[in-house]
Amino acid sequence: QVQLVESGGGLVQAGGSLRLSCAASGTFFSINTMGWYRQAPGKQRDLVASITSGGSTNYADSAKGRFTISRDSAENTVYLQMNSLKPEDTGVYYCNAGVKPYSSAYVAMNYWGKGTLVTVSS
């Protein structure tokens, strides 16, 4: 089994910053793409940022220029540095990872963390 544990969420005023962390633990062969998704109250879960094992990044338009995703592959951890936060950034942020298990190293399985709440006040 694979567990993803997020941390770093909280309450912050508009214009402030937060750094989210997600640590993967368990037994697996490797981790491919890792990403952060946001789900605002009453809305669907959407991609905020992702990063591949090779370091290629992808950002939602709303995150470009303000958020930075990074990873420490040796520690199986992904980070999301969020600057210049806006009230519309509010939501539960979920960590996602594509994981290759030892039982099937050629196929990636998708895992989700339980989320960490980010609330940005005006």
Q: How far apart are CA 77 and CA 69, in angstroms?
A: 11
Measured from the Cβ of residue 5, the count of other Cβ atoms closer than 10 Å reads: 14
Query: What pLDDT digit, counting tens, does each position of 29-57 carry?
Result: 999 999 999 999 899 999 999 999 999 99
Task: Find the mean pLDDT for residues 20-24.
Answer: 97
pLDDT over 80 (residue 88): yes
Element (H, E) at 78: strand 77-82
Element (H, E) at 92: strand 91-100
Contact between residue 4 and residue 113 where contact means Cβ atoms under 8 Å apart: yes
Query: What pLDDT digit, counting tens, does each position of 69-87 carry?
Result: 999 978 899 999 999 999 9
For residue 87, report the phi and psi dihedrals to the nearest 5 degrees.
-55, -35
Q: What was the pLDDT predicted at 23? A: 96
